[in-house]
A and B are shown apart, each in its own frame.
Chain A
Amino acid sequence: GQNIDQPTEMTATEGAIVQINCTYQTSGFNGLFWYQQHAGEAPTFLSYNVLDGLEEKGRFSSFLSRSKGYSYLLLKELQMKDSASYLCAVRDLRDTGTASKLTFGTGTRLQVTL
């Protein structure tokens, strides 16, 4: 099975930088995803890492270390609209091709304050 851990809540100030960590344990790793979810809305895709290193996309970056089972999502220049839950999700090596489900962590609720 898979085990994914994220902090439950975080608070940061508008304009600041925040790092949301995710650790995972899986019998076979085949990709890590980050999603943003505003309350009561659908999750929306932010980033995908399958190799070690940093992927940058505008104000958002995601890092992966497969040997440590660790990822983080870095949000820069925080805006009030970034207040949301951030979900870390892992795809297992067995879930490839036509069966590619993702297993999600419980999410980190980020509150951006003035």
Chain B
Amino acid sequence: DSGVTQTPKHLITATGQRVTLRCSPRSGDLSVYWYQQSLDQGLQFLIQYYNGEERAKGNILERFSAQQFPDLHSELNLSSLELGDSALYFCASSVQTTGELFFGEGSRLTVL
């Protein structure tokens, strides 16, 4: 157990819909990272927050947005969903000194 909590574990929805994925970092970690992993693809960095502020942005679509709340949990919002958005979405939090990432169990999104 990494200590990073993600909900929901599985989500099935239709094209055009909107979903919200939630993540709670490990106790004491201020950073939250979101990654997308499509079938047979590597982990693609989407976005990072540190103590409520956006710190780095990767290949995140405009249809996607995220935020980190004062209690440090984060939400990733995916809207106008397309079939290609079906993927595993991982949240991670980091150890400040080495930058090692601890990953949650992921949210598997299926868009039909």
Contact = CB atoms under 8 A, between A and B. Distances in A.
Given A41-B105, A42-B105, A45-B100, A101 B33 contact: yes
Given A98-B50, A98-B55, A100-B99, A43 B43 contact: yes
B99 A43 contact: no
A40 B48 CA distance: 23
B42 interface: yes
A102 B90 contact: no
Interface in A70-107: 87, 89, 91, 95-96, 98-107
Contacts of A106: 41-42
Contacts, number: 65
A26 interface: no
B56 A95 contact: yes
Interface residues of B, number: 30
Interface in B47-74: 48, 50-51, 55-56, 58
A11 interface: no
B42 A105 contact: yes
Given A42-B2, A42-B90, A99 B56 contact: yes
Nearest to B2: A42
Contacts of A100: 31, 94, 96, 99
Contact of A33 (B2, B33, B51, B100): B100
A9 to B, nearest CB: 11
B42 A101 contact: no
A104 B50 contact: no
B106 A48 contact: no
The 10 closest A-B pairs by CB, nearest first: A100-B99, A106-B42, A42-B103, A99-B55, A104-B43, A98-B50, A99-B56, A104-B42, A43-B103, A42-B105
Interface of B: 2, 30-31, 33, 35, 41-45, 48, 50-51, 55-56, 58, 88, 90, 94, 96, 98-106, 108
Interface of A: 30-31, 33, 40-45, 48, 87, 89, 91, 95-96, 98-107
